[in-house]
Amino acid sequence: MNKTSFIGDKPINRIGFGAMQLAGPGVFGPPQDPDGARAVLRRAIELGVDHIDTAQYYGPDVVNDLIRETLRPYPENLKLVTKVGGRRDDQGAWLPAQTPAELRADVEDNLRSLRVELSTIIGIPQL
C-alpha cells in the first residue's frame, strides 16, 4: 500500500491527525486537560504526522488556538487541513453557515486563528 497521497500537488502521509476531539465534551468548550491536548499534538508531530484536520468551529475557536499555541512556528512539512460551512450556537448546537459571506468569514476566521497567510493555502480559489 502506498503510504503517500496528495493534497493538491503536496505529498502527505495517508494518515494524519483529526483534531476534533481536542475540544471539550461534545466538541464544545475547552478540553478538560489542555496540557494533555498540547502533548497529544506534539506527540503526533514527533511520530511523523504531516497533516492535521481541524475547523474553527471545533470548540468553537478552541482547537485551532491549541494547534497554533502548541505548534507555531509550524514545522515546514506540516499541512493544516480545515473545513468551513458550519458554526456553533451558545449551547453547542451545530448550525449550517453556507452562504458566500459565511464561507468567506469561515476561511478568514481559520486563517486568523491559525495565523497562516492565504498564500499558503493549497487548492483554494482566490477570494
User: 4 by DSSP, 3-state: which?
Assistant: strand
In the chain, which ranges are continuous DSSP H helix? Answer: 34-46, 62-71, 100-114
Counting every residue written for the chain, the total comes to: 127
Q: Are strands 51-55 and 79-83 parallel, antiparallel or unpaired?
A: parallel
Work out the angle at residue 113's Cα, subtended by the Cα atoms of residues 27 and 44, and round it to the nearest 5 degrees: 60
Residues annotated as catalytic are 58
Rounded Cα gap, residues 96 and 98, in angstroms: 6
